[in-house]
Amino acid sequence: QVAARALATVRGVHVLGAPRQRIGCVAFTVDGHHPHDIGSHLGEHGIAVRVGHLCAQPYLRALGTTAAVRASFGSYNSADDVERLVRALEALR
C-alpha cells in the first residue's frame, strides 16, 4: 500500500487496480510514456521493473490499457527504495 500511495502522488502516474489489500507489487502507467521506455529509464537509475502485458492481457484491457509497468517489493526493500522509484519517475517530466 505504501508504494501505491507514493506513486499516486506523482503527476501523470496512474496506479492500476484498487484492491482492498495489495501484495508486494504495484502496476502503473505514466501519461505520455510507453511502459518499455519507462522500464529503460528506471533501469538507467538502477531500478528493475517488469514491463509489458504482465501475462494479464484481459485484466489490462479491462483497465483500459494494453501494457503497464510493475514494481515488485520484497522483505529486503525499504522505504528508501520506494522513494528512489518516485524520484526516478518524477525525473521523466
Question: Helices in the chain by DSSP H: which ranges?
Answer: 2-8, 35-44, 57-62, 79-90
CA angle 82, 17, 89 (to 5 degrees): 35
**Which run of H or of E encompasses 69?**
strand 68-72
Residue tagged active-site, from 18, 55, 64, 80: 55
Active-site annotation holds for 25? no
The grid coordinates listed for 9 are: 502522488
The residues annotated as belonging to the active site are 55
